[in-house]
Amino acid sequence: MKLGIAGAGKIVMDLLSFIHGIPSISVTAICGTKGGYEKLKQLQQQYRIPAIYTDYGQLLADDVDTVYIGVPNHLHYAFARQALLQGKHVICEKPFTSNLQEFLELEQLARESGLMLLEAVTTIHLHNYRSIRERLEPLGDIKIVQCNYSQYSSRYDAFKEGNTLPAFNPAMSGGALMDINIYNIHWVTGLFGSPERVEYMANMERGIDTSGVLLLDYGHFKAVCVGAKDCSAPAFCSIQGDKGSIQMNSSANICDSYSYTLNRVEPVRVDLKDHEHRMYDEFVEFERIIAKQDVPAAELLLEHSRKVMEIVQAARESVGLGPMRGDANVRR
């Protein structure tokens, strides 16, 4: 894979910290803003990246076959669309798009172009998470599922003082649901599919959800996803069945070790991690899918992402936020 990177923020730093450990992926170019040119030069030197750009069109004209999109949320649709139109496979950070309609348009364009479109969300690719799926049946009838990912944002203080940064900007697809609770949605949806009913109860400040509780009603059981950027608590995910339970004391995007407990049986600790970085497994899988042109695997991932986007849109509409609109600053 010849990978071009769009963006130079924190998530891209995470990617660059391990990506050279996957020999079949070579980072051939990176694109950032004009104001961040000096940072791009530092990254070029540190990670031996052949080309740097401040014009996204020039990145797409380079000899890359796949583009990783790590720009702010509201730009995902436009950047992904432009890459697909230029014949590039796309790996796009979460949330995939600002609303369901944008996702559906990208999905159709990728299919028509014969290109791979993949969402970079760590959860569903982690070995611990996949092993949880294999241990669901012995838990019996599922009754309660809970996820809590609450992390006091370093930007929340500025927000309270009237300075609205992208993480809390509704025009830039910010907010707790899009930025942090979406990991919980991926965790639950990957195990149980689409719910029958979605309801979001959000704490709203200046038109944005700074925290909230998402109820997913599966009929025979209920799932509760808590996501917060205005307060903090220990992260966890749990599944309770009438014959046993699973308790994971980490956020849904890390899927650290967990305890598997059947009724009247001692807990079993499970930890199948094979790499220290949470993003490693997903990129190994993305490279395999693209190299092998594994369309069925890509379609399964798109189906999962579509379910997540349907929940996100329903959640926003349930609290009166309505679907977010993406950014049109990149020519479509």
Q: Report CA-CA distances (Å) from 215 to 225, 316, 320.
A: 7, 12, 15
CB-neighbour burial class of residue 289 (10 A; exposed 0-12, middle 13-18, buried 19+): buried
What residues does each domain of the chain span?
2-120, 124-270
Q: Measured at the alpha carbon of residue 170, what is the angle toward residues 225 and 302, in degrees to the nearest 5?
A: 55
CATH architecture of the domain with residue range 124-270: 2-Layer Sandwich (3.30)
CB-neighbour burial class of residue 192 (10 A; exposed 0-12, middle 13-18, buried 19+): middle
pTM (2 d.p.)? 0.95
pLDDT tens for each residue of the chain, 332 residues long? 999 999 999 999 999 999 999 999 999 999 999 999 999 999 999 999 999 999 999 999 999 999 999 999 999 999 999 999 999 999 999 999 999 999 999 999 999 999 999 999 999 999 999 999 999 999 999 999 999 999 999 999 999 999 999 999 999 999 999 999 999 999 999 999 999 999 999 999 999 999 999 999 999 999 999 999 999 999 999 999 999 999 999 999 999 999 999 999 999 999 999 899 999 999 999 999 999 999 999 999 999 999 999 999 999 998 877 555 554 444 33
CB-neighbour burial class of residue 4 (10 A; exposed 0-12, middle 13-18, buried 19+): buried
Fold of domain 2-120: Rossmann fold (3.40.50)
Please, which residues bridge with residue 90 across strands?
67, 117
State the DSSP H helix or E strand holding residue 31, giving kind and residue range, or none if neither: strand 26-31
